[in-house]
Amino acid sequence: MTNSLFPSVLRTVVPLLVGWVLTVTGALGVETDSTAVAGGVTVLVTGVYYLLFRVVEQVAARLEWEPLRVAAGLLLGWARPPAYVPPGAAGAVVRE
């Protein structure tokens, strides 16, 4: 198993942050209010939630505790964690 925690967290949190920044800055017209702050809190809570359950999912997999791994995965919307193909490996899979 390749360590896909860091890339998966980035792929989740970065779009949330970009969307929030664009919303807060009024597409760079820069106006903020309590709704914008609430959006930032939403991004933060979402990122923490995602990171927590991805860590639980990985720990459960290492402990081979399948019910916990599946439960953590389902709380993330999909029972299995993402699998990223290392660069250069995709060609090897296609050739086989």
Answer whether residue 7 shows pLDDT above 90: no
Q: What is the pLDDT of residue 28?
A: 58
Give the position of tokens 């927590």: 52
Q: What is the pLDDT of residue 9?
A: 75
Give tens-digit pLDDT for 46-65. Answer: 878 888 888 998 899 999 99
Angle, nearest 10°, between helix axes 34-62 and 5-24? 170
Q: pTM of the predicted model, to two decimals?
A: 0.57
Contact, 72 vs 62, CB < 8 A?
no
Domains: count for the chain: 1
Q: What is the pLDDT of residue 59?
A: 93
Domain that holds residue 88: 5-95
